[in-house]
Amino acid sequence: MTSNDEKLQKVGEAIDRLCAIEITGRGVVGDLYAAARARQEGPLCLSVAQKLIERVQPGDVVVIATGLPTYPWFSGEQDGPVGAGTLARALVLALAARPVIVTEAIHLEMCRAAVRGAGLYPRGIDEALRLPTTAAVVAFPTDWTEAGREADRLQERLRPKALIAIERPGANDHGHYHSAGGFRLTDHCAKVDVLFERARAQGIVTVGIGDGGNELGCAMIRETVHQAVPRGVRCQCPCGGSVVPAAVTDHLIVAAISNWGAYGVEAALALLLDRREILHSRDVDRRVHEWCAQAEANNDGPGLLDPGTDAVPVEIHGDMVELLGFMVASGIDFGRLYKEPRYPWLAV
Ligand SMILES: [Zn+2]
């Protein structure tokens, strides 16, 4: 391993740690992160960014699945759609990818708002595949049979190179979807698990980003979720099962808030490609949150239509982006230190 590689690993480590700091004090993310890390090689966000750079060529589709119907409104939150919007922007800037956001019909409007806030045109598939700086936003069926047909159709049409789920519930062994608190969400959820399972079987890279154990990707750390998350092992709905989805992904990123996992991937892409602008700015972050809230995505926790996620207000998310941005910029500088010192008067 060269010095630059070691430095990259260290910055990647710092990105992971920052994204997994549990500022709301829920007390579960430390265990979930450690379990995810024990089962995968290298820092989580950096590994995913490396895989995306390896697999995604200009014009290739990356599917981003998001949307979590929150109890008791059964309408979405900003955790997920916001990260889907900002990650879509980063994938366009970094890789000239064609992002396709897949969600419930009830969450189309908030996902379109997030995409628009992130500076991309929200479009249907045909237009999005043809035009740059777009992201397709498409509804996926809540019915299992229709979902199977739609998965085949999308696979054929999109030929995606990667699938990423952000704060996306998945069906447990009894076929039921749950909130982190164990409430049943089954009837309201798009059955995108099918899309992930089929893609994975074909060798397409699949990534889950979660913060509570009930999201796609968390099957990798099932036992830890059962031990660490209240209601993790037994839901509050009549199925009496685990909140952990049955479907498995190749990668799992655990963050304190799922959007922060998406931010971490953006930061790692920026670091690897030596371009700070790939990670979105504080201004973009605020705009995405605000427009998403305006489209009735709530700040889950208080359940208010204020900009924010998991009871963390939008300013703090902006701070997170600033911190990550600084780490990326320093990381890039450190990387260059071996070629051309930033402060030549210190080089003796
Ligand atoms: Zn249940």
Q: Which domains does the chain have, with CATH numbers?
A: 3-346 (3.90.1640.20)
CA 274 from centre of chain = 21
How far apart, in whole angstroms, are the C-alpha atoms of residue 309 and residue 300? 6
266 C-alpha to center of ligand 1: Å? 34
First to last CA, the chain: 26
171 C-alpha to center of ligand 1: Å? 9
The predicted structure's pLDDT at residue 1: 57
237 C-alpha to center of ligand 1: Å? 4
**Tens digit of each residue's pLDDT (9 = 90 or more) over 159-173:** 999 999 999 999 999
Tokens of 255: 């963050």
How far apart, in whole angstroms, are the C-alpha atoms of residue 210 and residue 254? 5
182 C-alpha to center of ligand 1: Å? 7
Residue 253 near residue 29 (C-beta atoms within 8 A): no
The predicted structure's pLDDT at residue 338: 45
**Tens digit of each residue's pLDDT (9 = 90 or more) over 44-73:** 999 999 999 999 999 999 999 999 999 889
The pTM assigned to this predicted structure is: 0.96
Tokens of 21: 């700091």
H or E element in which residue 104 lies: none
Low-confidence ranges of the chain (pLDDT < 50): 337-338
* Residue from 145, 128, 79, 144 nearest 107 by CA: 79
309 C-alpha to center of ligand 1: Å? 24
104 C-alpha to center of ligand 1: Å? 20
